[in-house]
Structure 1
């Protein structure tokens, strides 16, 4: 089936235009807010070619398509709505009750467009680490001192730019999600990292002093910060929407951008920035404290229970944490532990696939195992392990063991959003053997437990 045919079939089976309130997508799933759940033919949707499964979560009907494909199907799906179903980023949610899960979902919507840039940056970091390793250079008779400074500067542009201007990316995406003008978001975000302000990294290293306003407000640049730009983006977009309703059309072009940027910057530098930067630091401190608990306890806990975040629809909060970690010191401490959980899912599902006697079970489980090994676990979780229960428990144990080892070995990634086999690109340094080891252990434990205790060969879905 073509991407257009898939979109047409999904639209038909979810009840057509009149049954769709809004639609958006994440990295792997088409996410549709439905008016009447009873009108959906869920079996029919799951039977569509290239659809890996579907489920309800956070008030949404989510169709699992996988990375890459979901973007293409979404682009075909939206024009078919004929205005009756807006994109979720533009839909009015005033009539819906605000819940924690919906707030997290919006948070995720802001960061999904940014992730590909950060993935690329992480790969650049990994490749730079690989080609500057003394052992690798020694194979061709070189040392790190032999690398031209111009080449190092070129690689630094590739690795540092996204995080140096991260607030601009966050503010742009936030303005877009909340109905503001994205270009105003970009400019507001760039103002937060203006070279006029003391660089946040230099202030953190105590090589520069923050600006002091009114005798007590410390003002710095927000390079690498996420939460201040996110909140400033929300407030800035709301201010712009308010102004456009109040200012006459003849003055809108002049006054609205001027007042939006002026008021947005004042709020960002003097109120939002100082407050939410401290909140961001506190959240990071709490997470890093958990991960650094002695004897690998933090890795054991997160490796075991981190997989539950996706089920409850709050896994998007991890984007904020990982971006903040990378912006802070260039390392991602969550990725190696979370990867163990994904690989553990692959182990559990492969055990089910091999042991099952049902052709239908094998048909679902084998590709789901491969998908999980490549970092996409939704087909494995919602299609196999969670429905069978015991394999999911065994995957939690396998993920916990791997997370424990990752914590003991102090593994850390150079980027984000890549896990499993593709995730090796984030460990192209002396950590690579250990990364492979912890994932092999996670896979083996999960596979062995599922094979032995977690699944009976004649058990169906």
Structure 2
């Protein structure tokens, strides 16, 4: 492949160097900040040999090139454009200027939760392994594997401790990522997050029982009674605390000499944030978080099939807009508050549906480039990354996307009506079954069959009839 020629063609298709503000790349994509995305010649871009797809998200125009090729094309690209190589942060900054307040809020949530996602997904997979060992009726009738082979019980216990750690100390993870995003010291973010789950505090999961028994511990602060409770599994309290901590830290750093900042900035910021969190921020956000959780649970308890139909069908649309990142926080809140989530299983099925539609284009197409894109993006979607399938194949032809979201809506209706739950967030595709509560494996597999067969067959037959691939 002539990388310089590919770079020239990409630069021409996006409107030339005059339309380019900044550029960087990740493992597979060119990430571009453009002045006007409306002048991009999408048809010309799709015909370029190196390009496997393109899409716009969070103010960035991203061109899928592929691992191993993208860095070579990028070097030629920035040389031709006459711009220096930019960092991801510089491109994000250039892109954010075009965002409205809602887009910036969604991007902020994404930037906070995506860095901690590997820990959460890993925990979900480990919980799946624990399910195999401890759930009855998988290998033996009415018995778990550890009941028949007790020598495995301690291994299962060790696995659950490792798996649960990410959720037990979730505020520490969120505190680190949030403070880093807001511009403060990440180590202080970890500390404030861990403060909220200190073992001397009443565990949040025991709060309801303590209230009914009238045994909630309290502090007496100069006549003011403050409940001495922790915030295990909570999202909103630590987000608000991290924001406040960062603002206080930055305020102090501007006013305290560098030579004594170590003695004053951290202690003052943590003390003020801690007091305000336990007295005001924590109780308010704890209540709001529980209202959100209780409201969602009530809606799905009452209209489970309708909720599944809507969320299962709309999730693919949410990915296009980037709003799916907001539901990551909701899933984490649900797992933290109830121990399970009913939203995430529909996410996994939606991803599988998009992959199946891409596979159908691979089978129906006679174009070698499109066939390669269909199979590679289909595999990616089945493993939880849908953007290549969405933007490179399904939205390009429209009907694969429509068939995919219709199929995932049907599957969402079914699994919601059956009450399917996940222990946690896992790999959002075929391996997602390991994060499903074992009692619902059969129902989830039926849902998987729906989103594999319907998009594959429906898209293939329609593509053959339309003859546009």
TM-score range for the pair, normalised by the shorter chain length: 0.7 to 0.9
Q: Is the 8 A contact 1:346 1:380 kept in 2?
A: yes
Matched residues, number: 446
Q: Is the 8 A contact 2:59 2:98 kept in 1?
A: no
Where do residues 85-100 of structure 1 align in structure 2 (5 Å cutoff)?
85=87, 87=89, 91=93, 98-100=100-102
Where do residues 329-408 of structure 1 align in structure 2 (5 Å cutoff)?
329-408=338-417
The worse-fitting range, judged by mean Cα deviation, of 438-447 and 252-261 is: 438-447
1:312 is aligned to 321
Q: 1:225, 1:24 → 2: CA distance?
A: 34
Choose from 188, 195, 218 the match for 1:191: 195
Q: Is the 8 A contact 1:349 1:384 kept in 2?
A: yes
Q: Is the 8 A contact 1:349 1:368 kept in 2?
A: yes
CA deviation map 1:307-328 (0-9, x unaligned): 1111111111121011112212
The worse-fitting range, judged by mean Cα deviation, of 127-136 and 177-186 is: 127-136
Q: Is the 8 A contact 1:292 1:298 kept in 2?
A: no
Where do residues 21-32 of structure 1 align in structure 2 (5 Å cutoff)?
21=22, 31-32=31-32
- With over 3 angstroms needed to count, the CA separation of the structure-2 counterparts of 1:181 and 1:29, relative to structure 1, is farther
The worse-fitting range, judged by mean Cα deviation, of 161-170 and 199-208 is: 199-208
1:209 partnered with 2:211: no
Choose from 146, 151, 156 the match for 2:150: 146
Q: Is the 8 A contact 2:422 2:437 kept in 1?
A: no
Q: 2:104, 2:436 → 1: CA distance?
A: 34
2:442 is aligned to 433
Q: 1:115, 1:446 → 2: CA distance?
A: 28
Q: Is the 8 A contact 2:59 2:96 kept in 1?
A: no
- With over 3 angstroms needed to count, the CA separation of the structure-2 counterparts of 1:96 and 1:260, relative to structure 1, is farther
What TM-score does the superposition give when structure 1 sets the normalisation length?
0.83
- With over 3 angstroms needed to count, the CA separation of the structure-2 counterparts of 1:269 and 1:92, relative to structure 1, is farther
| Cα offset, 1:110, TM superposition | 0.7
1:129 is aligned to 131
Q: 1:141, 1:417 → 2: CA distance?
A: 23
2:274 is aligned to 265
CA RMSD of aligned residues (A): 3.8
2:159 is aligned to 155
- With over 3 angstroms needed to count, the CA separation of the structure-2 counterparts of 1:219 and 1:41, relative to structure 1, is farther
Q: 1:445, 1:18 → 2: CA distance?
A: 41
The worse-fitting range, judged by mean Cα deviation, of 32-41 and 197-206 is: 32-41
Q: Gaps (5+ residues) in structure 2?
A: none
Where do residues 17-96 of structure 1 align in structure 2 (5 Å cutoff)?
19-21=20-22, 31-34=31-34, 47=48, 52-64=52-64, 85=87, 87=89, 91=93
Q: Is the 8 A contact 1:352 1:455 kept in 2?
A: no
What TM-score does the superposition give when structure 2 sets the normalisation length?
0.82
Q: Is the 8 A contact 1:341 1:396 kept in 2?
A: yes
- With over 3 angstroms needed to count, the CA separation of the structure-2 counterparts of 1:97 and 1:448, relative to structure 1, is closer
- With over 3 angstroms needed to count, the CA separation of the structure-2 counterparts of 1:248 and 1:313, relative to structure 1, is same
| Cα offset, 1:46, TM superposition | 8.4
Q: Is the 8 A contact 2:308 2:416 kept in 1?
A: yes
Residue 111 of structure 1 aligns to a residue whose secondary structure is: helix
Q: Gaps (5+ residues) in structure 1?
A: none
Q: Is the 8 A contact 1:355 1:457 kept in 2?
A: no
The worse-fitting range, judged by mean Cα deviation, of 414-423 and 207-216 is: 207-216
Q: Is the 8 A contact 1:172 1:182 kept in 2?
A: yes
Q: 2:307, 2:149 → 1: CA distance?
A: 38
1:117 is aligned to 119
Q: Is the 8 A contact 2:411 2:451 kept in 1?
A: yes
- With over 3 angstroms needed to count, the CA separation of the structure-2 counterparts of 1:205 and 1:58, relative to structure 1, is same
Residue 225 of structure 1 aligns to a residue whose secondary structure is: coil
Residue 198 of structure 1 aligns to a residue whose secondary structure is: coil
2:456 is aligned to 447
- With over 3 angstroms needed to count, the CA separation of the structure-2 counterparts of 1:93 and 1:372, relative to structure 1, is closer
Q: 2:262, 2:172 → 1: CA distance?
A: 22
Q: 1:418, 1:293 → 2: CA distance?
A: 28
Residue 33 of structure 2 aligns to a residue whose secondary structure is: strand
Residue 265 of structure 2 aligns to a residue whose secondary structure is: helix
